[in-house]
Structure 1
């Protein structure tokens, strides 16, 4: 039986459907049909602008983002796809705080919906630190269909592991 590490929190019946798609070698075709396009946000500068535009549209009064970058070490070292951090430094008698968002480099070559989903997720943490109902409401507000996209991203990661030979 195929271990589906990205889908372990989902119901068994749904996992069985995914196992069937894998067994029939249809998971890749499903994803290609549903997400045929790739985005053009390839540089850290373009990613910063992309995040800033979304923040401006949905979280106007949130804290300023100082840095947004693709991070090639996130996926492997931290088992994370995105990361938001606050770095505080003392400068004279003041405490300066900088907000950073790091997005796993694997998102350079994905569907635009997947990049938006991970950016929306990290931006939502500017308002809600916990993964609670308010957090997911904000995610759904910024990206209608957020939950389906998150599920499909988990399918994409499963497919990616299978095609790279990584145990699923």
Structure 2
């Protein structure tokens, strides 16, 4: 099951979960299950609203983190390689000083996602403001901002599997 192209968003999860997801997908019930658990979509539809959404989370949980220069939905993120969000540091020389700006880009697909899934992506990218890698400290920070982070990430990956089989 691990090599199944229909489960590309679930790579790395235990085999029993993959088998269960594959069975639900084959029966056509996976989408229904996710939609029942996460009905509707969020109200964050513009780049400005997304910036305010991310800024509110940063202000609440990461007050000492560097400020965000830009947060936007990006149509160019490559879902094929699994890029759902991206946090970048742009450094520019202004006079004799190095100016750093932090940007977050979220795959445009998440405009139509349930709020919980948008939150997972934003929390993940915000955590990169403090923690560069995907280590224990990084995931502890994600769980600090969203206690159900791991379950929501798994459910989001199920949603992506249905959206892009």
Q: TM-score, normalised by structure 2?
A: 0.94
Q: Name 2:130's counterpart in structure 1.
A: 127
Q: CA deviation at 1:75?
A: 3.1
Q: Report the counterpart of residue 6 of structure 1 in structure 2.
A: 9
| Number of aligned residues | 162
Q: 1:144 to 1:76 in 2, by over 3 A?
A: closer
- Which of 121, 145, 149 matches 2:148? 145
In structure 2, the residue matched to 1:41 is 44
CA distance in 2, matches of 1:142, 1:67: 20
| Residue in structure 1 matched with residue 76 of structure 2 by the alignment | 73
Alignment correspondent of 1:29: 32
> Distance between the aligned counterparts of 2:82 and 2:15, measured in 1?
24
Q: Which runs of 5+ in 2 are unaligned?
A: none
- Partners of 1:38 and 1:100 lie apart in 2 by 24
**How far apart, in 2, do the equivalents of 1:23 and 1:70 lie?**
31
TM score, norm. by length of structure 1:
0.92
Specify the alignment match of 1:51 in structure 2: 54
Within a 5 Å distance, the mapping from 1:72-91 to structure 2 comes to 72-76=75-79, 79-91=82-94
In the TM superposition, residue 29 of structure 1 has moved relative to its aligned partner by 0.5
* Matches of 2:155 and 2:39, distance apart in 1: 13
Aligned-pair RMSD on alpha carbons? 1.3
Instruction: Extract unaligned runs of 5+ from structure 1.
Output: 163-168
Change over 3 Å in CA distance of 1:131–1:71 after alignment to 2: same
- SS of the equivalent of 1:70 reads strand
- Partner residue of 2:104 out of 101, 104, 108: 101
1:66-114 superposed Cα distances (whole Å, 9 cap, x missing partner): 1111100013576411001111111111111111110110010100000
Superposed displacement of residue 144, structure 1: 1.4
Q: Say which SS state the counterpart of residue 74 (structure 1) adopts.
A: coil
